[in-house]
Structures are given as C-alpha cells and as structure tokens.
C-alpha cells in the first residue's frame, strides 16, 4: 500500500512522533496504522508522546559563542528533573541545540524544530528531541533561544552560573581584542547573573516602563499613612528620588559593581578601558534563568509513589 501524507499526519497526531519516523513505520507495516503504532512503541518512540504532557521546568540554560566570536547564542532546554539536567547525554544535546541555533536562520522555536539536525540531516530537530525524550525517559522541551551576531566592533563573553541555572551572554562594544576583555566580560556577566538588571543603561529604558513605575510609586506613596499630610510637591520630589534609586537597580551600568569598592559598573568599565588602552562598554546582554515563569507542579512524594505503583 502506498503511504500518503494523510496517513503520516494521522500517525503523527496519534503518537506525537516526528514525520520521518512515522513514514518509516508506515512503510515497514505496509500502511497499517495500528501496526505502525506498535512498531513505534517497540522502537521506544511512541512512549515519548505520553511524556510530552508532563511539566518540564528544570533543565539547563546555556551560552555558546562561535570560535571566531562572530555569533553568540543563549538557549534554555527544559527537563522534568534536576537529575536529568546533570546527565551527560542531556548536556551534549543542549550544546548541540546551541550550535544548531548559531548556524540557523530560525526566528522562533517552532521554526527551529522543523530544521534539519546538523549532526544528522536525515532527521529534523523535532525528531531528535523526540528520540531524546524516549532515551532519557522524561519530557524535554526546547523552550527559547536568542542569538546575536558580531558584525565588528564587539566582543562576546559568556558565563554559566550554578551548572546551568543561569546563563549570561555579554556583548562588549570595543575594537580591542585584548585578553583582559575575557576577565572583564566574565565579571560583568557575573554581575548580571547576580543582580538581574533589565536594561544596560538609563537611556535604554522605555518611556512606558518609567510611566508605569511612576504610577506604582505614586500609589505606594498615597497608601503610606506617613504621607497623608504632605503637599504634592514634596511627594513629587520623593517619587523622583525613588525612581532614581530604582533606575540604579534595573540599569546595569548604574548598579553598584558587586566585585568593586563602592563604584558603579560604568566606572568599572572605565577602569577596564584605561587598563587595555581602548574604549570598552556594555552594548547588550542576554540573561536566561532556567524555569523562570514556568509553573512547577508540586506533588506529595507519597502520592507520586502510589501513582507509580498503580
């Protein structure tokens, strides 16, 4: 029996397995859907569909820089447990995903999943992901990625905190290639990992963000009994002071440098510039924290054991 696109689509929907694996299964079973499902089960692939519904909130955030420093990538790949995140098979997969992104033109995860896998172009990224789910035994998810390209005048440095809990990529604006840039970049990346700034500098902060924060601070001031009898001009000055303080917290270059002695990150970059004899500042950064924003499923351990026994 000839295998049609409709049959492949149906088998994919039933099993969650990639297109090429579904096609192979149908060819092997002469187009019999039930036998094809059984074939995929024996291959350990159909089970991956069941695992795909589980919440994957652990995993790794990972930063990769090409050898020529022309491309920088940060990816987050999730697993169900922290134990799997320490598995060498999983770590290798995450590294390969980052390299895939570095050579890819994909703008989002959906587009990336449909691409040919660099390590084996007979498979798509999605098919390899499905295989890894089957081998590792947990739901895995390529959650997000960001990619930046160095067209000259920049230098990329990365930092991975706590074995992949946080990954940071820093783009330094400089014409220098001095080795001291690596140390400076690592120090700034550690600052970003620790202090979690939202913007590089005040000039980068959108007007909408400032207006929103002003409204929040105003409500806080109004709800504080201590300000009940204060005139509006005094409250306005208070708001200016609080907003300025907040900008020092959310803007990287305004933050107090954690490894320095009461200097800002901007002042630290000034010291680096003097040290290497060339201008250096932070152009951009990316910070991924594994699992941020994902609602983690909490289960009683006894209930989990009971479920396993059933």
Instruction: Please provide the DSSP assignment of 13-51 as one string.
Output: HHH---HHHHHHHHHHTTT-HHHHHHHHHHTT-THHHHH
* 120-124/116-117 β-pairing: antiparallel
Question: For residue 48, is pLDDT > 70?
Answer: no
Instruction: Identify the band that residue 47 occupies on the pLDDT scale cut at 50, 70 and 90.
Output: low
240-250 tens-digit pLDDT = 889 999 999 99
Please list, residue by residue across 142-167, b when 16 or more beta carbons sit within 10 angstroms of its beta carbon and e when fewer do.
Answer: bbebbbbebeeebbbbbbbbeebbbb
Q: What is the helix (H) or strand (E) element at residue 4, kind and residue range?
A: none
Give the CATH number of the domain where residue 24 resides.
Answer: 1.10.8.10
State whether 35 and 73 are in the same domain: no
The C-alpha atoms of residue 258 and residue 304 are separated, in whole angstroms, by: 42
| Residues 118, 81 share a domain | yes
For range 142-156, the mean pLDDT: 96
Q: Looking at the domain assignment, is residue 298 inside a domain?
A: no
46 with 58, same domain: the answer is no
pTM of the model: 0.78
CATH (domain of 117): 3.30.479.20
- Above 50 in pLDDT, residue 310? no
* Domains held by the chain: number: 2
pLDDT of residue 134: 86
**CB atoms < 10 A from the CB of 92, how many?**
12
- By C-alpha distance, which of 245, 251, 144, 242 is closest to 191? 251
For residue 304, pLDDT beyond 60: no
Whether 49 shows a pLDDT value over 70: the answer reads: no
Take residue 54 and report the two structure tokens written for it: 């589980």
Structure tokens at 49: 């569909």
> Would the pLDDT of 303 be above 70?
no
The rounded percent of the chain whose pLDDT value lies above 70 is 91
What range defines the domain where residue 87 resides? Answer: 53-149
The pLDDT of residue 305 is above 60: no
Q: Which of 96, 120, 149 is at the close of a domain?
A: 149
- Judged on CB neighbours under 10 Å (0-12, 13-18, 19+), 54 is middle
């Amino acid at each position: 029996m000839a295998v049609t696109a409709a049959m492949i689509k149906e088998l994919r929907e039933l099993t969650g397995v990639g297109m090429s694996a579904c096609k192979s299964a149908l060819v092997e079973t002469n187009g019999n859907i039930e036998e094809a499902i059984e074939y995929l089960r024996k291959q350990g692939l159909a089970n991956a569909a069941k695992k795909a519904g589980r919440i994957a909130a652990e995993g790794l955030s990972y930063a990769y820089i090409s050898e020529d420093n022309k491309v920088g990538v940060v990816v987050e790949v999730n697993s169900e447990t922290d134990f799997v995140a320490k598995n060498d098979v999983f770590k290798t997969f995450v590294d390969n995903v980052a390299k895939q992104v570095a050579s890819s033109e994909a703008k989002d995860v959906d587009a990336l999943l449909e691409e040919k896998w660099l390590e084996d172009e007979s498979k798509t990224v999605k098919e390899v992901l499905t295989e890894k789910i089957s081998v590792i035994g947990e739901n895995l998810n390529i959650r997000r990625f960001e990619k930046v390209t160095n067209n000259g005048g920049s230098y990329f440095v990365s930092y991975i905190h706590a074995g992949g809990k946080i990954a940071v990529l820093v783009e330094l604006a400089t014409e220098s290639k001095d080795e001291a840039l690596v140390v400076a970049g690592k120090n700034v990346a550690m600052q970003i990992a620790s202090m979690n700034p939202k913007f590089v500098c005040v000039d980068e902060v959108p007007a909408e963000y400032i207006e929103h924060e002003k409204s929040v601070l105003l409500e806080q001031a109004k709800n504080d009994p201590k300000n009940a009898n204060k005139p509006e001009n005094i409250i306005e000055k208070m708001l200016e002071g609080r907003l300025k303080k907040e900008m020092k917290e959310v803007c990287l270059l305004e933050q107090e440098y954690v490894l320095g002695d009461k200097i800002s990150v901007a002042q630290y970059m000034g010291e680096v510039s003097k040290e290497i004899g060339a201008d250096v500042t932070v152009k951009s950064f990316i910070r991924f924290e594994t699992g941020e924003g994902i609602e983690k499923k909490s289960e009683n351990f006894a209930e989990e054991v009971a479920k396993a026994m059933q």
